[in-house]
């Protein structure tokens, strides 16, 4: 190990960016995507098809908060650095699980309301004895890797604004790069670079024009301005950089993905139309200055929440007989894009799931050919569109084998009925979509619910990028399966929403091994080697937007609540540690004893759908991350309910007061709606 770690140190000590570009047989996992190219491929071969049946649990630790666990652990010199929901940081002996130090940045729980998608975090960065963390409330914190003591801390946004951070920072060129989220809450997207030694801002690149021209930074105004109409809502326009950021050492650039528009409905956002740069784009900027290099817009004039923030993989690949330096992304919109990362030229765009919003991407213009029926803001009719806002692929990282150019993508098949709202009053405590999501609530009919479940599925897709052909596909009953790890041992590791960590043969997708994690696994596994033994580590813990918002689709077979058990699991050959017995019992719903006011319940449904649905689940059915309100005792009393919804007595647990937006009548209507849902469930 030490020889290899020293090898790695050689790369980082002589300058800043000369880190290995291709996977070496590195025994660490030093960066978010393992190497600079973020391929999530490891050269380790100790665990392979011959011995994988001997893989067992080496050790585990319970994580402090039962929320979605999405982080990629880093392993450097025998120490694992990982982070978990609400930004707890853990430094562990990677061989034994012994806790070396832990750090809690004490993110106020009320910050949760500003996040669309659970209080998750996707990882840390490491650089020369420092661990860099970005918190949900927008702080960038450098910790001493030996002690966990903070070295500096800086704010990346004003906390009066509706920003959050869930993504992992990246480090290169003596700088830390980080973006943020909040496009559903009317913020203006940007990515910033901070000095790694001092935490001072070096540059900031804005992805969309400002409604108010409040802030300044790098923004290619000439390019952007003509793609927006002059009018538009008062909200800032979105375009958040909430996940993918890659440093490309070959071009000294930062390549990042930009999210959806705020609101989704283009009629409200930019009534005169336009491409709305840089929404849904992959953008390259100079790593030292933030100056614009090139962009490719995956979904011009974005309208379906088609973020292009999904993980970006860099590679060197042959195209028509020429070696090209490429960037690969499978964004929410369902097309797999391969771009030349020197100039942003589109080399390939092929669907990887069922897509109905566009028939294909025209390779001459580089633009999608949009299906007019999907343009719900023009037709005024509901449009059932695939993929849904969940994406053909979301943030769950894919893996790429550079030896044979095969990519492994966690894909999702789903549809969503988009229906335009004519206008919308912007809200700070609710998502601003300009789309009537009530249309998407499942009717009570169990047959319809089952039909929707049947039409919603996930898969692990292996595609050969040399031929564009799919090699194999492993199907899952639902979406929201985990990120992927590929190894030279010819094994592909992936967790599933159904609660397993799985290992598949890389050549044909045959499942060779699985482990019952007792909870949905959404995070990507990593691998490393210490004292001659290879380990596989993964954070387990059901969560993120899908479980939060779509309860009916994410209930587990046993209908148990809550479904999240947050743990870091570590495996090696010959180990046989056991998890505690899963003795959760199904909660009971108290019967409704009072008369339900049907009219109030109907109004409550409308209000619930605007303010509560993102956390407490569509149709009042919670997804097992935050309370399913139908099981909550406070529904039984108007006073108790009001003290939570308006009085904010549970703010310390994240349930803020909605008094600035709702009055006592609204709150009671929502209670009547929940009571009606309880009545229905009985
Ligand atoms: N986050 C998740 C997750 O962690 O489960 C899923 C999503 C986000 C999405 O599907 C999003 O569209 C999304 N959008 C934004 C945004 O527009 O700013 C932010 C985030 C986030 O920060 O987690 C997500």
Q: Which of 99, 21, 24, 110 is nearest to 64 (CA)?
A: 99
pLDDT of residue 582: 85
pLDDT of residue 214: 59
Mutate which of 117, 388, 624 to test ligand 1's pocket (most atoms within 8 Å of Cβ)?
117
pLDDT classification of 213: cutoffs 50, 70, 90: low
pLDDT in tens, 76-111: 999 999 999 999 999 999 999 999 999 999 999 999
Rounded CA-CA distance 79/547 in Å is: 32
Query: Does the beta carbon of 394 lie inside 6 Å of ligand 1?
Result: yes
pLDDT of residue 11: 31
With a cut of 90, say whether residue 442 has pLDDT above it. no
With a cut of 80, say whether residue 426 has pLDDT above it. no
pLDDT of residue 555: 63
Sole residue written with tokens 């009570």: 444
Query: Does the beta carbon of 544 lie inside 6 Å of ligand 1?
Result: yes
pLDDT in tens, 301-317: 999 999 999 999 999 99
> Which atom of ligand 1 sits closest to the CA of residue 187?
18
| Token pair belonging to 573 | 């050959």
With a cut of 90, say whether residue 566 has pLDDT above it. yes
Alpha-carbon dihedral 188, 193, 196, 200, rounded to 10 degrees = -70
With a cut of 80, say whether residue 70 has pLDDT above it. yes
Between 218 and 70, whose confidence is greater?
70
Q: How many residues are recorded in the chain?
A: 682
Model ipTM value: 0.99
With a cut of 70, say whether residue 24 has pLDDT above it. no
8 A C-beta contact, residue 159 and residue 138: yes
Catalytically annotated residue among 28, 305, 436, 676 = 305
Please report, rounded to a whole number, the percentage of residues in the chain having pLDDT higher than 70.
Answer: 94
Window from 6-15, 260-269, 630-639 with minimum mean pLDDT: 6-15
pLDDT of residue 20: 42
pLDDT of residue 369: 98
pLDDT of residue 494: 98
Domains of the chain listed by start with CATH number: 598-681 (1.10.760.10)
Q: Whose CA is nearest to atom 8 of ligand 1?
A: 117
> Which atom of ligand 1 sits closest to the CA of residue 544?
5
Residues 6+ apart with CB under 8 A from 609: 437, 438, 441
pLDDT classification of 596: cutoffs 50, 70, 90: very high
Between 511 and 451, whose confidence is greater?
511
Window from 9-13, 56-60, 597-601, 644-648 with minimum mean pLDDT: 9-13
Rounded CA-CA distance 563/584 in Å is: 9
pLDDT classification of 172: cutoffs 50, 70, 90: very high
Give the SS3 label for residue 6. helix
pLDDT of residue 431: 84
- State the SS3 of 351-387: ECCCCCCEEEEECCCCEEEECHHHCHHHHCCCEEECC
Query: Does the beta carbon of 116 lie inside 6 Å of ligand 1?
Result: yes
């Amino acid at each position: 190990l030490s020889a290899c770690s020293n090898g790695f140190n050689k790369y980082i000590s002589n300058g800043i960016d000369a880190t290995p570009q291709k996977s070496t047989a590195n025994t660490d996992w030093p960066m978010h995507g393992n190497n600079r190219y973020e391929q999530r491929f490891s050269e380790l071969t100790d665990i392979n098809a011959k011995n994988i049946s001997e893989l067992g649990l080496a050790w585990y630790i319970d994580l402090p908060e039962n929320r979605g666990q999405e982080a990629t652990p880093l392993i450097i010199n025998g120490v694992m650095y990982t982070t978990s929901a609400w930004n707890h940081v853990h430094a562990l002996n990677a061989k034994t699980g012994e806790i070396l130090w832990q750090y809690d940045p004490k993110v106020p729980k009320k910050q949760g309301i500003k996040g669309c998608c659970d209080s998750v975090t996707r990882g840390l960065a490491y650089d020369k004895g420092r661990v860099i963390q970005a918190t949900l409330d927008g702080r960038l914190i450098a910790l001493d890797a030996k002690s966990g003591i903070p070295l500096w801390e800086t704010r990346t946004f004003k906390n009066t604004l509706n920003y959050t951070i869930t993504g992992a920072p990246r480090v290169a060129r003596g700088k830390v790069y980080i973006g943020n989220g909040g496009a559903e809450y009317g913020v203006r997207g940007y990515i910033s670079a901070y000095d790694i030694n001092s935490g001072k801002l070096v540059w900031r690149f804005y992805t969309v024009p400002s409604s108010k021209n409040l802030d300044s930074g790098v923004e290619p105004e000439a390019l952007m301005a003509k793609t927006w109409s002059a009018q538009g809502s008062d909200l800032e326009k979105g375009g958040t950089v909430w996940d993918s950021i890659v440093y490309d050492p070959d071009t000294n650039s930062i390549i990042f993905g930009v999210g959806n528009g705020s609101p989704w409905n283009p009629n409200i956002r930019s009534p005169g139309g336009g491409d709305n740069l840089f929404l849904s784009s992959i953008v390259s900027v100079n790593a030292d200055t933030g100056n614009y290099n090139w962009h490719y817009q995956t979904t011009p004039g974005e309208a379906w929440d088609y973020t292009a923030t999904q993980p970006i993989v860099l590679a060197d690949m042959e195209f028509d007989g020429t070696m090209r330096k490429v960037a690969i992304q499978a964004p929410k919109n369902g097309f797999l894009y391969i771009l030349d990362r020197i100039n942003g030229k589109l080399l390939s765009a092929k669907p990887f799931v069922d897509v109905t919003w566009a028939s294909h991407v025209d390779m001459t213009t580089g633009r999608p050919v949009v299906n007019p029926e999907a343009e719900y803001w023009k037709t005024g009719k509901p449009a059932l569109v695939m993929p849904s806002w969940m994406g053909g692929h979301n943030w769950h990282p894919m893996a790429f084998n550079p030896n044979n150019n095969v990519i492994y993508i966690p894909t999702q098949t789903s549809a969503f009925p988009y229906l335009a709202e004519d206008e919308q009053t912007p809200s700070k405590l609710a998502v601003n979509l300009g789309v009537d999501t009530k249309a998407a609530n499942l009717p009570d009919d169990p047959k319809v619910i089952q039909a929707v479940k049947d039409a919603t599925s996930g898969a692990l897709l292996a595609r050969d990028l040399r031929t564009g052909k799919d090699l194999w596909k492993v199907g899952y009953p639902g979406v929201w399966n985990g990120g992927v790890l590929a190894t030279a041992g010819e094994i592909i590791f992936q967790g599933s929403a159904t609660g397993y960590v799985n290992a598949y043969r890389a050549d044909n997708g045959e499942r060779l091994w699985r482990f019952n994690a007792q909870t949905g696994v959404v995070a990507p596994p990593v691998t490393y080697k210490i004292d001659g033994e290879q380990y596989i580590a993964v954070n387990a813990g059901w969560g993120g937007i899908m479980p939060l918002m779509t309860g009916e689709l994410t209930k587990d077979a046993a209908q148990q609540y809550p479904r999240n058990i947050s743990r870091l699991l570590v495996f090696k050959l010959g180990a046989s540690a056991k998890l505690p017995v899963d003795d959760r019992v199904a909660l009971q719903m108290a019967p409704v004893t009072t008369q339900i006011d049907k009219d109030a319940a109907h109004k409550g449904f409308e209000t619930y759908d605007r303010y509560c649905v993102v956390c407490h689940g569509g149709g009042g059915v919670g997804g097992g991350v935050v309370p399913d309100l139908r099981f909550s005792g406070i529904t039984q009393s108007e006073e108790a309910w009001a003290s939570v919804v308006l009085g904010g007595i549970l703010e310390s647990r994240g349930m803020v007061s909605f008094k600035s937006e709702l009055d006592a009548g609204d709150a009671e209507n929502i209670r009547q709606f929940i009571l009606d849902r309880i009545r229905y469930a009985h």
